[in-house]
Amino acid sequence: MTAATQPKAPPFPVLRAATAADLMTSNPISVEDSALVSEAVILLTEHGFSAAPVIDAAGRPVGVVSRTDLLVHEREQGCCLKPADWYDEADLTKEFDKDERSGLQVQRVDATRVRDIMTPVVFSVAPDTPAAKVVAQMVALNVHRLFVVDKDEVLVGVISAVDVLRCIYAD
C-alpha cells in the first residue's frame, strides 16, 4: 500500500480555548444559600440542570446543590406526613364520610434551606487560568464543573464538562 492509498488517520481532537474565560458559561444561574430546598428543586427542574452553584449574599460561591443532594434530602425527610387525626366533626365545614377521610393527607412543608443540604465545597479557577489546566483540574478532582471567580471571589462563570466538550474541535 502506498502512502497515497493508506487510510487517513482520524483527526486528533483539539481544545479550542485558551483560558477559563473562553470555556465558561458567563453569568450562571445560581441559588442563594438562604433559598428553600423547594426553590432549588424548581430551579434545577425548570432549567434542566443537574446542579447549580450556591452563593452567599455577596455573590461568592459557598457550595453546589445537585439533584443528588435533593434526592438524599427527600429520602431522609420522607415525602408526606401520615394522615391527620380527626378531632371534632363540628370543627369541619363539610362532613366527610369515612371513605372520604381515608383519602386525605397532610403535606409536609419543608423549611430546610439550601445551605443545609448543599455540598459545601467550592472548586474554582480565575478567568485567566489556562484552559488545559482547567481540564486537568477537573479530571484530577473528578468533578463535573468548576466555578470561575473574579479577584473578589465573586462568581462570574461556570465551566461544565459539556462546556469543555463544546470547545473540542477535530480538524
Task: Compute the mean pLDDT over every residue in the chain, rounded to the nearest whole number.
Answer: 85
Query: Does residue 104 form part of some domain?
Result: yes
Summarize the confidence of residues 16-37 as an average pLDDT: 96
Angle at which helices 67-77 and 37-47 cross, to 10°: 140
Q: Which cell numbers in the block locate residue 85?
A: 387525626
Whole domain around residue 59: which residue ranges?
Answer: 14-170
What's the rounded Cα separation, in Å, for the pair 159 and 164? 7
Show Cβ contacts of residue 159 under 8 Å, excluding neighbours closer than 6 positions.
Answer: 20, 23, 24, 25, 125, 134, 138, 145, 146, 147, 148
pTM score, whole prediction? 0.74
Query: Does residue 130 form part of some domain?
Result: yes
Summarize the confidence of residues 52-62 as an average pLDDT: 95
pLDDT at 100: 63
Show Cβ contacts of residue 41 under 8 Å, excluding neighbours closer than 6 positions.
Answer: 70
Query: Does residue 154 form part of some domain?
Result: yes
Evaluate if residue 65 carries a pLDDT over 60. Answer: yes
Query: Does residue 2 form part of some domain?
Result: no
pLDDT at 102: 61
CB atoms within 10 A of CB 127: 17
95-145: pLDDT as tens digits: 666 666 665 565 667 889 999 999 999 999 999 999 999 999 999 999 999
Evaluate if residue 48 carries a pLDDT over 70. Answer: yes
pLDDT at 14: 87
Query: Does residue 132 form part of some domain?
Result: yes
- If one compares 77 and 39, the residue with the highest pLDDT of the two is 39
pLDDT at 141: 97
Query: Does residue 27 form part of some domain?
Result: yes
Query: Does residue 7 form part of some domain?
Result: no
The rounded percent of the chain whose pLDDT value lies above 90 is 67
Query: CATH number, domain at 31?
Result: 3.10.580.10
Count of structural domains, the chain:
1
pLDDT at 40: 96
Summarize the confidence of residues 46-65 as an average pLDDT: 95
pLDDT at 75: 87
pLDDT at 6: 75
Summarize the confidence of residues 139-160 as an average pLDDT: 96
Query: Does residue 4 form part of some domain?
Result: no
By C-alpha distance, which of 103, 48, 54 is closest to 80? 103
pLDDT at 103: 59
